[in-house]
Amino acid sequence: SQTIHQWPATLVQPVGSPLSLECTVEGTSNPNLYWYRQAAGRGLQLLFYSVGIGQISSEVPQNLSASRPQDRQFILSSKKLLLSDSGFYLCAWYPGPTNTEAFFGQGTRLTVV
Amino acid sequence: ILNVEQSPQSLHVQEGDSTNFTCSFPSSNFYALHWYRWETAKSPEALFVMTLNGDEKKKGRISATLNTKEGYSYLYIKGSQPEDSATYLCAFNYGGSQGNLIFGKGTKLSVKP
């Protein structure tokens, strides 16, 4: 069966420090992968999606970047965190076709101080 | 900009009450409508994936309906229990198997015993 791993679960980082969140998927190949964020009082916002190695699409301009170095690995990064980067980050795998659900990692609670 | 609206934003009910939430989405380029249940610090869990106009799905005390022509879906919970307390998310797929899921902000349900 397919599983999705995301780490770390919680993170407290100072403003200006770098960030690296990792997501890996097991049990499938060439998955469509997504990074979402929920900021305080807001809904889930799509940040990046990737349909293959080295292929990244950004939905919103921001202080973050994403990379897909391997087929089943998706990384969210920042060179210098801002206070506004605080939130709950979720990695997701959407297998398709249209009648299937998305699967999520456990999430990372990021607090920038 | 595609927008998915959910109402109400939050809901407080007594144990045993029945309740319903609304999800509104664009009526064009429809591929699928998802409902997820999201508990704090956990991954969202899929409830339903609906693809056809007029679809009605049921899982235990929870059911959902879909109207793609007018762009709305209802989620019903019959006889709410404290364990139903969670945020209920709907998500709209506008791009098929490689499409993205646009999430609403969710409805936060609190059920008091």
What token pair was written down for B49?
């994936």
Report the gap between the CA of A91 and the closest CA in chain B (Å). Answer: 10
pLDDT of residue A30: 79
- B-facing residues of A in 82-101 (CB < 8 A) are 90, 92, 94, 96-101
Q: Could you give the CA distance from residue B23 to residue A89 in angstroms, rounded to a whole number?
A: 23
Q: Could you give the CA distance from residue A93 to residue B22 in angstroms, rounded to a whole number?
A: 25
All residue ranges of chain B with pLDDT < 70 are 1, 96-99
Per-residue pLDDT of A90-113, as tens digits, reads 999 887 666 788 899 999 999 999
Read off the pLDDT band of A60 (50, 70, 90): confident
If you average pLDDT over every residue of chain A, what do you get?
89
pLDDT of residue B41: 74
Read off the pLDDT band of A3 (50, 70, 90): confident
